[in-house]
Chain A
Amino acid sequence: MRLSPLRLLPVLGVALVVLGPLGLLVYQSLLSAPFFDPTASYSTEAFRYILSNPDFHRAFGTSFLISLGMTSIAVPLGSLLGFLVVRTDLPGRRWLEPWLLVPVFLSPVVVAFGYVVAVGPVGFFSLWSRSLLGVVPWNLYSVGGLIMIAGMTHVPHVFLYVSSALRSLDPAVEEAARVTGAGPWRIAFTVSLPLVWPSILFSISLVFLLGFELFGLPLVLGDPGGLLVLTTYLYKLTNLLGVPSYQLMAVVALSIVVITFPLVYLQQRLLGTAARYAVIRGKGQAFRPLPLGELRWPMLALVLLWLLGVVVLPLAGVALRSVVRYWGEGVSLTEVLTLDHFRRLVGYPNLVRGIINTLLIGGLGGALAVAAYAAIALSSHRWQSPVVSLTDYLVLVPRALPGLVVGLAFFWVFLFFKPLSPLRSTLVSLWLAYTVVWLAYGLKLISAALLQVAPELEEAARVTGASQGLIYRDVTLPLIRFGLLGSWLLIFMMFVREYSTGVYLLGPGTEVIGSLIVSLWGTGALDLIAALSVVEVAIVGLALFFALRLGVRLDA
């Protein structure tokens, strides 16, 4: 295919926004002081210190273990869930869907805190368990507990990818399997899921990477007991030498970036050629859900059990905390009930503005981000070139950088790169930073959908004389509309939750819910945090619910 500037520009744009902050970090890692300090000189001291530091090795090992563990929980469960909800006649599947996504938009610190209130050593459920059974049979603060919770709460990420790919799957292939007598399990494992292998494979890399990036969960659940992971180690580096040592932090961040390379390489090797996965062919067929038969209700029970563990448990903890003055061992709940926290929340400075900004950045910003991702995805669509496989590496990099570092990197870029500096402290800078960080997410969602559009559809249009632009507008984009809507929804929730990326770009007037939560966390106003989180869940939940029920038909 001809190399046109239209194809090249978006790719160059990606390279710029990713390599800018990354280059800055590489540069910083090779200096002896902050890069803006006139006394800074080239030095490999930071690398030598980190690589020989036993704490780093310990933290890296723990992070690796947690990543591995949570990937092996989240990916199978998420894929299965996607199959059940999208392809089968699971009872109530359309009502379930908004709930499945709840863990995605809750701040991990809040989720972790919810678990502490619900099943911590003196949590509500632990105290019930102790009074009923005499013991608390679980330990929330163990590595196992952390892996379990991290794995379960990342199920929705996998679910979103797999389900969106499954939605565009031609039902004829499953139908064919069914008429030859295959049961739902057989169909899932030998037909449907293998056909969405690209999405599953990508989920694996992503969840694995997110495991290294976990911060809120290990900070709240593991850190007090001395469990060190890479991000909490990074946190330690801000204080270890008195003032934050950027060069050390940069080295640790780069060590996570390095992990993305084998991940992407493996992905590319395993996927081979995209044509194998094209299943939206030139012929359409009506969709009929696969009957689960007698498995219907047991499967529903399984899904509900997962919901109980991942949504109900932490949310119940947070919700309970929002209506009690205090809680714990020796407290009778009826005596401490109050609505005061909500009343105080109403009077909290800048609350309304924070909520509006959050919805704005999630809704409008999310839509704009999806448009940008679509432009990028289309530009590399059906383009066999080393440039494209290079892009695969690039897009994962921003997500590999831990929040503590990526926030600083974006801040520096907006501060020291003069053409951008007028945008600093506006929602535009925040939007740009969020869009870059979630690049891999949105892009993969869209390109997975694109992968499944068979080339003959576009070729048919081309034969009739349509230009490339017209083909995209009238053929390709309409065919991937589910993918686009799905990724808008996902990005909306990511942007609502995101905080650390923008921490240095926020100021008075651009507060978001995330920043309010962090500032409340500092003073320990967990009662207000709980109330705010309940409000957040209510708002986002309602928006989601109506989007799914009315406007955004994911399963039309």
Chain B
Amino acid sequence: MIKRVFVVLIALGFCLAHYSDAYSAESREVVGAAQKEGRLIVYSSTDSSSAEPLLQDFKSLYPFVTVEYNDLNTTEIYNRFVAEAAAGAGTADLLWSSAMDLQLQLVQNGNAQAYASPEIPGLPKWAVWQNQAYGTTLEPVSFTYNKRLLPQDALPQSHADLTRLLNEKSAVFKGKVATFDPEKSGVGFLLATQDLKVSSAFWDLAKALGGIGVKVYTSTGAMLERVSSGEHTLAYNIIGSYGLLRQKTDPSIGLVFPKDYTLAFSRIAFISKAARHPNAAKLFLDYLLSKRGQGIMANKSLIYSIRSDVDGVATAANLNKELGKALKPIEVGPDILAALDKTKRLDFLKRWQEALKR
């Protein structure tokens, strides 16, 4: 009997702790107002199956908020949002997208509302821009390779290694390497320009890629599939979270985080100025940034937690341990906007085409 009471008490304690933990960071007003709103519309590029654990957990915390989760691609999010905002029609309360450039462009044009999340102290400084745009993940960018085709000892460990390998064994790698098409993919463009910012040797690598007739893609999935099948031996600038997810079911995929520098990108979230459920959006944003939400990102969604105090598989802490100073996060800030400058953009793409001899 006593034992049973004891168990019940412990369970009760857990429940209380759970609740106080959940609400601790939230102001009562926000929670109360969100309860009145009762709904939340999210446009997100994180696919439904990765987002599902987050949505379930959010629901268990705030059962009174019904989340309408729209799983869209990044261009769709942008197109849809700008038109809906201009029409004054209902649109998303919160936008969560991996197109860092498009997201910041929207924020820059005054589409976001400022909100100082109580979770800010847990985030790196570079991840928050004007209390409007929030980086929610820290996803390292890798060389992804086929383990059957590329032996462990032949792996390039740095960008310079890769350039040398491609130049020396150009016959072997002819047509066997894939990368993003910076002309058609926003993420691809961002990664390539960040490469150039970190390393002046980027054009050497681009020329080496051109020399072996690199194939260019617009989707990570297509590249991973063709690396896995052996059509390509290696893919350059693959976002680690996708590779990690793929590794769960596919032993042929290997990831290298280059030792000289590893870019890390971040899915950016912001609350829309036109939000009809702004408080629910605040709750969701706080949840995404909270230790609890980030724990699920690190262990279930595998999209790499940005917080250094989260344990698990895909975490900033692990990356920092492995890479130290070589980890170069793409800062949520005006740097990205510079990539949208038309003249510079066309110049960059022209050089890229020249390097590829297309």
Residues in A lying within 8 Å of B, measured CB to CB: 34, 36-37, 116-117, 120-122, 219-220, 223-226, 232, 235-236, 238-244, 325-331, 340, 344, 348-350, 408, 411-412, 415-416, 421, 424, 503-504, 507-508, 518-527
Residues in chain A near residue B178, CB distance under 8 A: 224
Contact indicator B229/A122 (Cβ below 8 Å):
yes
B86 at the interface (CB under 8 A from A): yes
In the bound complex, CA of A219 to CA of B220 (Å): 14
Against A, the Cβ 8 Å flags (1 = close, 0 = not) of B328-356 are 00000000000111100110010000001
Contact indicator B80/A348 (Cβ below 8 Å):
no
Contact indicator B83/A411 (Cβ below 8 Å):
yes
Closest Cβ–Cβ distance, residue B290 to chain A (whole Å)? 23
Task: Given contacts A239-B184, A240-B349, list 8 more A-B pairs with CB under 8 A.
Answer: A116-B231, A241-B346, A244-B75, A328-B228, A329-B230, A416-B83, A523-B50, A524-B222
Which residue of A232, A421, A504, A526 contacts B184 across the interface (Cβ within 8 Å)?
A232
Closest Cβ–Cβ distance, residue A227 to chain B (whole Å)? 11
Closest Cβ–Cβ distance, residue B221 to chain A (whole Å)? 2
In the bound complex, CA of A520 to CA of B72 (Å): 10
Residues in B lying within 8 Å of A, measured CB to CB: 45, 47-50, 52, 68-73, 75-76, 78-80, 82-84, 86-87, 89, 101-102, 105, 148-149, 178, 181, 183-186, 189, 215-226, 228-231, 242, 245-246, 249-252, 339-342, 345-346, 349, 356, 358
Task: Provide a sorted-by-A list of 16 A–B residue pairs whose CB atoms are within 8 angstroms.
Answer: A223-B181, A239-B184, A239-B185, A242-B101, A242-B340, A328-B252, A329-B231, A331-B252, A344-B49, A415-B84, A415-B87, A503-B76, A504-B79, A523-B221, A524-B246, A526-B221
In the bound complex, CA of A317 to CA of B356 (Å): 32
Which residue of B184, B221, B345, B349 contacts A521 across the interface (Cβ within 8 Å)?
B221
Knowing A507-B68, A507-B70, say if A122 contacts B230 (CB, 8 Å): yes
Contact indicator B73/A518 (Cβ below 8 Å):
yes
Which residue of B68, B72, B229, B345 contacts A328 across the interface (Cβ within 8 Å)?
B229
In the bound complex, CA of A68 to CA of B340 (Å): 38
Closest Cβ–Cβ distance, residue B252 to chain A (whole Å)? 5
Which residue of B49, B78, B229, B230 contacts A244 across the interface (Cβ within 8 Å)?
B78
In the bound complex, CA of A522 to CA of B217 (Å): 12
Give the residue name and chain of the A residue nearest to B233 (CB).
A329
Which residue of A329, A416, A522 contacts B47 across the interface (Cβ within 8 Å)?
A522
Residues in chain A near residue B102, CB distance under 8 A: 242-243
Residues in chain A near residue B84, CB distance under 8 A: 415
Give the residue name and chain of the B residue nearest to A404 (CB).
B75
In the bound complex, CA of A226 to CA of B179 (Å): 12
Residues in chain A near residue B346, CB distance under 8 A: 240-241
Contact indicator A325/B250 (Cβ below 8 Å):
yes
Contact indicator A522/B73 (Cβ below 8 Å):
yes
Contact indicator A522/B219 (Cβ below 8 Å):
yes
